[in-house]
Structure 1
Amino acid sequence: MTQKKEEDDKVRLDKWLWAARFYKTRALAKTAIESGKVHCRGERCKPGKEPHIGDEFQIRQGFEERTVVVQALTIVRRGAPEAQALYAETEASIVKREAAAEMRKAGSLGMTTDGKPSKKQRRDLFKFRGNSNDE
């Protein structure tokens, strides 16, 4: 039993991200870390970094960016409720993520206000207004 405890103390960052269910495979977690999508204290990490309880990580996945604090360490991937107990997302991160999601829903992410609209934006405007392009 004590050996299991020692193993959990020495966990690699890519294994922890996989066990916490941020990525489906360990290879995807490693690729994300190497491509700079995971930061610890504002700096890029390496896949072999050992996270410690209380460490804060910024994790980017697609449009979402989360700031999480490590609550527990494990190398075993379990169900989602148990995986969510491994970390706590900061309040500022939750607010920022929800605001970004609302902006994406509103459609303001792809629209620019400078200059004239692109061809795709113009077609979307015509479709939205119900006009045809023949006018």
Structure 2
Amino acid sequence: MRIDKLLCQLRFTKTRGLAHDLVVAGHVRRNGARVTRASQLVAVGDTLTLPLPAGVRVIELLALPSRRGPPAEAQACYRVLDPHAPVALAAPSGQQPEEGPPQ
């Protein structure tokens, strides 16, 4: 699937034309490499870095959408990879996680 069509169907842009302009300007990255052709193909498992009004978002494609559907359908096709989110660490085996102060 073309990257401009994907960005529109996943609802990151309102129109395919806006997605085309975003890609051609060189603001989108696919697997770490800058994309400058709107016809660049994407596949499941690719990681995209997108500059959005709310900030930069890094996503991993889980599925390719078949249409521009409702937001819930679009969000099921990708997973957000946030490099600044805290990571939940599991307690080592055999140990109980520490409890916080009583409330």
Same fold flag (TM > 0.5): yes
2:25 counterpart residue number: 35
Shift of 1:49: 1.2
Query: TM-score of the superposition, structure 2-length normalised?
Result: 0.75
- Determine if the alignment matches structure 1 residue 54 to structure 2 residue 41: no
Query: TM-score of the superposition, structure 1-length normalised?
Result: 0.58
Higher strand proportion (structure 1 or 2)? 2
1:27-71: per-residue Cα shift (whole Å, max 9, x none)? 000000011121012221121111111000100013500100011
- Determine if the alignment matches structure 1 residue 65 to structure 2 residue 61: no
Secondary structure of the residue aligned to 1:92 is: coil
Distance 1:68 1:86 in 2: 10
Aligned with 1:90 (options 81, 84, 89)? 81
Higher helix proportion (structure 1 or 2)? 1
What aligned pairs does 1:76-115 form with structure 2 within 5 A after superposition? 76-92=67-83, 95=85
Root mean square deviation of aligned Cα = 1.7
Structure 1 portions without partners, runs of 5+: 1-10, 97-135
Number of equivalent positions: 85
Does the 8 Å contact 2:65/2:74 carry over to 1?
no
AA aligned to 1:22 is: F
Task: Flag the structure with larger Rg.
Answer: 1
Distance 1:72 1:63 in 2: 24
Identity of aligned residues (%): 31
**Which 4+ stretches in 1 moved above 6 angstroms?**
none
